[in-house]
Amino acid sequence: MQYKSVVIFGTAKIIEDDEKLMKVMQGFIDKYVTDMKAGDYEPFTLEDAKKATVYELTIDEWSAKRNDDVGHY
């Protein structure tokens, strides 16, 4: 069976700082809306950003596993 797994332990908190929230949301847009550029869509506003709840995760510990064996089932 093939799988990839990551387990993270840490503290999550809601991003409430407006400047930080806008920076994070703009980062999502830049990363995932690659077929459009500024000007192709309405400017993203703070009001838009506040419609989402965005968490910041401080990682204390993490582990990862991976198995590439397809197997014969």
Within a domain: residue 44?
A: yes
Question: Total structural domains in the chain?
Answer: 1
Within a domain: residue 31?
A: yes
- Model confidence band, residue 71 (pLDDT cutoffs 50, 70, 90): confident
DSSP secondary structure code for residue 34 in this structure? T
Within a domain: residue 57?
A: yes
Q: Is the pLDDT of residue 72 over 80?
A: no
Within a domain: residue 22?
A: yes
Q: How many Å apart are CA 65 and CA 54, to the nearest integer?
A: 27
55 and 24 in contact (C-beta within 8 Å)? no
pTM: 0.70
Within a domain: residue 41?
A: yes
The partner residues of 5 in beta bridges, in order of sequence, read: 65
What pLDDT is stored for residue 73 in this prediction?
A: 63
Q: What is the pLDDT of residues 18-68, one digit of tens each?
A: 999 999 999 998 899 889 877 888 888 999 999 999 999 999 999 999 999
Structural domain that includes position 44: 17-63
53 vs 1, residue with greater confidence: 53
Most distant pair of Cα atoms in the chain: their distance: 52
